């Protein structure tokens, strides 16, 4: 039986990946930070099936201990300060967790000395102000946020350790992906939660920032599958994972409000300067031809279907 260690187990992707690996017969270890109140909203259903281990990406020794406890064949490094907007408020902490955290895990694995396959959660934020549209594995990077810069450091470290120490390290350069388990601070979930509240009469508007930026949005359960696929290859390689279609925040609003029978949302959305960013990425769009050809991976869930599932889930949660 294979053993996998997932950092960021309680996050959106961590929980979906654990679901997937359990169906494949893995013994799954999930790393979480110690906190006064555990946030297992996404992972409550995994208690008893996943072994939760305490560790922090800012603490080298804790990573060494976690590796000893889990003795993994595969490590998926999904832990991060992952909210782009917050990275301008806490650039140093973001660099520490999101950038240095990856280096610490690579060092811990190197010292551990056994053959461990390593997955790094790289991101389309590294393409930032895209110099080529759609972006592929050869497109130059131009990050636009402290988060994007930290992720780029982690990305290059992953590659550098692969080349320096012959480690099986891969980076999945994933474009935006969402699900019913998305954190409430991200625009998609903020919208679906807001739409549900308006539909149920709890609120009368949603406050948002830039409505014109465009993102290439896929569905998280589809995307975690390619993380696993990348570690099953004979040779370690990086892959771009995307749908190839971009939608604006306005498009997302159209579909989300439509799910509750509202065609014109203009009276329900207020633009608020507080949610504007010091540097914005106007558009992100990816070309995942390489993943299709080598991993036989393609996105299965359409944009409209994903938005509709998120709205339904939020209406259900608030109606309970
Ligand atoms: P998420 O829901 O924000 O989950 C991130 C997880 O990291 C959380 O469980 C968090 O734990 C954990 N974490 C934060 N600081 C940590 C620390 N110091 N030590 C250990 N763990 C820590 O993110 P996600 O959307 O699932 O994304 C998963 C990964 O993919 C992230 O690295 C993200 O940057 C990257 N990524 C995401 C997307 C996307 O569109 N979702 C696209 C490309 C790449 P707490 O619960 O304790 O806060
Ligand atoms: N969060 C948020 N809140 N974003 C808003 C809002 C708002 O009220 N109003 C408009 N936006 C715009 C942002 O300015 C941005 O252009 C877009 O919505 C998406 O913002 P987020 O949902 O916060 O996601 P992100 O694209 O910045 O980052 C996500 O995707 C990256 C991959 O490209 C995160 O999951 C990152 O961790 C991930 O790496």
- pLDDT, tens digit, 9 for 90 and up, residues 65-97: 999 999 999 999 999 999 999 999 999 999 999
DSSP 8-class letter at 135: B
Task: Give the residue among 2, 190, 66, 241 at the shortest CA–CA distance from 79.
Answer: 66
Q: Which of 82, 96, 105, 227 to mutate to test the pocket of ligand 1 (most atoms within 8 A of CB)?
A: 82
Q: Please indicate whether residue 125 is annotated as part of the active site.
A: yes
User: What's the Cα-to-Cα distance from 36 to each of 9, 33, 90, rounded to whole Å?
Assistant: 17, 10, 21
pLDDT at 225 > cutoff 80:
yes
Residue 36: pLDDT band (50, 70, 90) is: confident
Quick one: which ligand is closest to 5's CA? Answer: 1
Segment 134-156 shows an average pLDDT of 98
Q: Which of 78, 180, 219 to mutate to test the pocket of ligand 1 (most atoms within 8 A of CB)?
A: 78
Q: What is the CA radius of gyration of the chain?
A: 19
Task: Give the residue among 121, 95, 99 at the shortest CA–CA distance from 238.
Answer: 121
pLDDT at 320 > cutoff 80:
no
- Which residue's alpha carbon is nearest to atom 13 within ligand 2? 210
| pTM for the whole structure | 0.98
Beta bridge partners of residue 77, listed in sequence order? 7, 120
Ligand 1 centroid distance, CA of 7 (Å): 8
Residue 34: pLDDT band (50, 70, 90) is: confident
């Amino acid at each position: 039986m294979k053993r996998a260690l997932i950092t960021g187990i309680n996050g959106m992707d961590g929980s979906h990946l654990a679901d997937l690996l359990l169906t494949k017969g893995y013994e799954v270890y999930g790393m979480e930070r110690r906190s006064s109140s555990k946030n297992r909203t996404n992972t409550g259903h995994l208690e008893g099936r996943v072994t939760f281990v305490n560790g922090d990406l800012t603490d080298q020794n804790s990573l060494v201990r976690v590796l000893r406890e889990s003795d993994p064949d595969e490590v998926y490094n999904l832990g991060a300060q992952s909210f782009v907007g917050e990275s301008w408020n806490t650039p140093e902490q973001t660099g520490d967790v999101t950038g240095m955290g990856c280096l610490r895990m690579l060092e811990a694995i190197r010292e551990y000395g056994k053959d461990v396959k390593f997955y790094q959660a790289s991101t389309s934020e590294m393409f930032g102000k895209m110099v080529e549209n759609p972006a592929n594995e050869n497109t130059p990077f131009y990050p636009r946020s402290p988060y994007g810069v930290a992720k780029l450091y982690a990305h290059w470290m992953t590659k550098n350790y692969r080349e320096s120490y012959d480690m099986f390290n891969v980076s999945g350069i994933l474009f935006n992906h969402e699900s019913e388990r998305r954190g409430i601070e991200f625009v998609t979930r903020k919208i679906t939660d807001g739409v549900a509240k308006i539909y149920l009469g709890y609120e009368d508007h949603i406050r948002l920032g830039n409505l014109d930026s465009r993102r290439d949005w896929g569905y998280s359960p589809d995307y975690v599958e390619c993380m696993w696929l990348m570690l099953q290859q004979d040779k370690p390689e990086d892959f771009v994972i995307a749908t190839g279609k971009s939608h604006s925040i306005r498009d997302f609003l159209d579909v989300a409000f439509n799910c509750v029978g509202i065609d014109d949302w203009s009276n329900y959305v207020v633009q608020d300067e507080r949610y504007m960013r010091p540097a914005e990425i106007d558009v992100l769009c990816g070309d995942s031809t390489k993943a299709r050809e080598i991993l036989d991976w393609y996105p299965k869930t359409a944009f409209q279907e994903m938005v509709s599932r998120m709205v339904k889930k939020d209406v259900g949660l608030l109606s309970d």
